């Protein structure tokens, strides 16, 4: 009998230990490498450019990178499952409100994105568009759509919507869980998470000055923009994910919580999700490399791991650069007064107090000054026809800035009252996005192709950011025998109206019901 009780007690103890065993950060980094690595393999299949054995080789490289990552991060502090679950609930709640899954309103950019997902789901891979005189290849950062498109092919459009939601919520939750290591206890983690979510410039003041009222999308007030955290999640989650990989990796490396190799290995794999987000991380990669050289901290693995992932990413880098005549670098002339007014409400209220704090600022003064210079300069850099580069290239720097500010608030330093005021005003930007999600109708199903969806709202802008003429695509990544995309279009892209988000005084879209 006593032996039975001992067995029962042992089993109960085993169950308790399993329930409370924290997760290894190295496993999370390995999951990120595996997921983004599989995006590369799926892009190969989307273009149908490699033989079967290449997928096996790519899979082996990804597996090796995952094994090395787990091994070199074995000494990192573990993350509790309670923290992971909290991050999942936060990420899932925000993405639901953003319109993913189509339970709530989705911003007009999703008209095109849902159409791209539909096209990738209903057409065989590879495919080309024939709506223009020259056939076009879909050439865009489509990493976010690859897995949901496969789900679409098997289970239909509604399942693809759910797959997109679950995928993005999981990746964001994993990044938040990794970032939780930057904070010492539960209180500081909750403060840091809250500040990161509401983090924004003081767009409300700029909106009142320029518009005379608080509009529905405040960040347009200066005609240039640094996006708040909630704006990124609601409008461009794929860019946010790529930029936050750079920020989280840099901050954890700087504090000795992750070696260079895993962080550098995952970065090139994110290019097919957001090349602009990846570009925004490069200054911090350069700073990390210089610091590692100066301190003689570089290891052989810090070269081999990123080289292996770069090898996997070469087709996607060539793909994204194909026929990029309309997406080149340009100098964007901005009047000095406009630039100064913008920075005075967006970045300087945070940067100046941090610069005054000097050595007490987290991650070192060189990180602060790099971030300062980067955020001052990039408004003058343009890629393509819009201001996307400054909006997406700033994601990594703004995430690091948010953590620096959180650190001062957690420590209850002398600058805490000032930061609390700036954060309170800034939070109105994100709350305006959430309000729209709760007031406007839920996003309808998009039933038309990319071409017709684009013309509903973006007809005045070139399609070069999404398309490349097939003849201009390098032979290395050009599909050999692509199918022709289904050219049949419904009378309506969607049922009902899709309201504009910018100004509550606006009527619903004048292209109601998507009739063209």
pLDDT digits (tens, 9 = 90+) for 148-200: 999 999 999 999 999 999 999 999 999 999 999 999 889 999 999 999 999 99
Mean pLDDT of the chain: 89
Give the separation between CA 109 and CA 119, rounded to whole angstroms.
Answer: 16
For 284-336, give the DSSP string: HHHHHHHHHHHTT---THHHHHHHHHHHHHHHHHHHHTTT-GGG-EEE----H
Residue 15 has pLDDT above 70, yes or no: no
From the number of C-beta atoms within 10 Å of its C-beta (0-12, 13-18, 19+), residue 149 rates as: buried
Whole-structure pTM value: 0.92
* Rounded mean pLDDT, 382-395: 84
Residue 214 has pLDDT above 50, yes or no: yes
From the number of C-beta atoms within 10 Å of its C-beta (0-12, 13-18, 19+), residue 232 rates as: buried
pLDDT at 49: 94
Question: Which pLDDT tens digit goes with each residue over 291-346?
Answer: 999 998 889 999 999 999 999 999 999 999 887 766 666 778 899 999 999 999 99
Percent of the chain at pLDDT > 70 equals 91
Residue 266 has pLDDT above 80, yes or no: yes
* Rounded mean pLDDT, 98-126: 95
Give the separation between CA 286 and CA 367, rounded to whole angstroms.
Answer: 11
Give the chain's length: 516
Residues 469, 470, 473, 477, CA torsion sign? positive
Contact 369/218 with Cβ under 8 angstroms? Answer: no
pLDDT at 213: 85
Structure tokens at 389: 């580069």
Of 376 and 411, the one with more pLDDT: 376
pLDDT at 74: 75
pLDDT at 515: 37
* Rounded mean pLDDT, 360-378: 90
* Rounded mean pLDDT, 229-245: 96
Closest C-alpha to 392, from 280, 234, 224:
280
Residue 476 has pLDDT above 60, yes or no: yes
Phi-psi region of 123 (alpha: psi -120 to 50; beta: other; left: phi over 0): beta
Contacts of 152 (CB under 8 A, 6+ apart): 117, 118, 120, 121, 122, 159, 160, 163
Structure tokens at 247: 């920020």
Residue 507 has pLDDT above 50, yes or no: no
Percent of the chain at pLDDT > 90 equals 72
Residue 208 has pLDDT above 50, yes or no: yes
pLDDT at 392: 93
* Rounded mean pLDDT, 358-363: 74
Contacts of 158 (CB under 8 A, 6+ apart): none
pLDDT at 505: 44
pLDDT at 195: 97
pLDDT at 19: 52
Give the 3-state secondary structure percentages of the chain, helix then strand then coil, rounded to 5. 65, 5, 30
Structure tokens at 101: 């899954």
Of 26 and 1, the one with more pLDDT: 26
> Residue 482 — pLDDT band, cuts 50, 70, 90?
very high
For 435-455, give the DSSP string: HHHHHSPPPPPP-S-HHHHHH
pLDDT at 178: 96
Q: Residue 381 forms beta bridges with which residues?
A: 331
pLDDT at 457: 86
pLDDT at 386: 73
Which of 59-68, 489-498, 502-511 has the highest mean predicted lDDT (pLDDT)? 59-68
Structure tokens at 480: 């050999």
Mean pLDDT lowest for which of 46-60, 381-395, 465-479? Answer: 381-395
Contact 400/372 with Cβ under 8 angstroms? Answer: no
pLDDT at 171: 98
Question: Which pLDDT tens digit goes with each residue over 414-472?
Answer: 788 999 999 999 999 999 999 999 999 999 999 999 999 999 888 888 888 899 999 99
Give the separation between CA 498 and CA 413, rounded to whole angstroms.
Answer: 46
> Residue 382 — pLDDT band, cuts 50, 70, 90?
confident
Helix (H, G, I), strand (E, B) or coil at 492: strand
pLDDT at 89: 97
pLDDT at 20: 57
pLDDT at 336: 93
């Amino acid at each position: 009998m006593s032996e039975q009780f001992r067995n029962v007690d042992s089993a109960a103890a085993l169950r308790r230990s399993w329930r409370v065993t924290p997760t290894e950060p190295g496993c999370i980094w390995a999951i990120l490498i595996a997921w983004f690595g599989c995006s590369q393999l799926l892009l190969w299949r989307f273009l149908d450019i490699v033989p079967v054995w290449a997928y096996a080789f790519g899979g082996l490289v990804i597996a090796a990178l995952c094994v090395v990552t787990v091994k070199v991060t074995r000494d990192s502090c573990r993350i509790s499952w309670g923290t992971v679950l909290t991050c999942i609930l936060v990420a899932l709640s925000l993405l639901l409100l953003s319109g993913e899954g189509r339970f709530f309103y989705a911003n007009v950019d999703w008209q095109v994105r849902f159409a791209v997902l539909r096209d990738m789901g209903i057409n065989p891979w590879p495919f080309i568009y024939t709506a223009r005189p020259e056939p076009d290849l879909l050439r865009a950062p489509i990493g976010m759509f690859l897995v949901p498109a496969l789900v679409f092919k098997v289970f239909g459009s509604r399942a693809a919507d759910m797959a997109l939601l679950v995928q993005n919520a999981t990746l964001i939750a994993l990044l938040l869980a990794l970032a939780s290591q930057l904070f010492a206890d539960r209180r500081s983690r909750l403060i840091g998470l809250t500040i990161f979510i509401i983090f924004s410039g003081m767009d409300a003041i700029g909106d009142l000055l320029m518009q005379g009222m608080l509009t529905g999308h405040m960040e347009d007030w200066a005609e240039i923009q640094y996006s708040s955290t909630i704006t990124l999640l609601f409008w461009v989650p794929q860019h946010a994910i790529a930029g936050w990989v750079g920020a989280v990796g840099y901050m954890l490396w700087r504090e000795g919580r992750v070696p260079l190799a895993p962080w550098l290995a995952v970065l090139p794999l994110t290019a097919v999700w957001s090349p602009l987000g990846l570009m925004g991380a490069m200054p911090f990669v350069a700073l990390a490399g210089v610091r590692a050289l100066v301190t003689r901290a570089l290891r052989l693995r810090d070269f081999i791991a990123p080289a292996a992932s770069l090898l996997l990413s070469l087709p996607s880098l060539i793909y994204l650069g194909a026929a990029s005549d309309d997406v080149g670098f340009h100098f964007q002339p901005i009047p000095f007064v406009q630039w100064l007014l913008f920075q005075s409400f967006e970045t300087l209220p945070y940067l100046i107090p941090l610069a005054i704090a000097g050595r007490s600022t987290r991650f070192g003064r060189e990180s602060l000054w790099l971030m300062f210079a980067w955020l001052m300069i990039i408004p003058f850099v343009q890629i393509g026809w819009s201001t996307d580069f400054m909006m997406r290239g700033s994601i990594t720097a703004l995430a690091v800035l948010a953590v620096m500010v959180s650190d001062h608030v957690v420590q209850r330093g002398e600058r805490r009252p000032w930061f609390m005021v700036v954060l309170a005003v800034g939070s109105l930007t994100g709350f305006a996005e959430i309000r729209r999600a709760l007031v406007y109708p839920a996003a309808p199903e998009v039933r038309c192709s990319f071409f017709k969806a684009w013309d509903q709202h973006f007809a005045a802008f070139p399609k070069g950011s999404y398309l490349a003429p097939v003849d201009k695509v390098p032979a290395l990544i050009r599909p050999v025998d692509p199918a022709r995309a289904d050219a049949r279009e419904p009378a309506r892209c969607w049922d009902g109206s899709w309201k504009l988000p910018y100004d509550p005084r606006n009527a619903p879209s004048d292209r109601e019901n998507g009739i063209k």
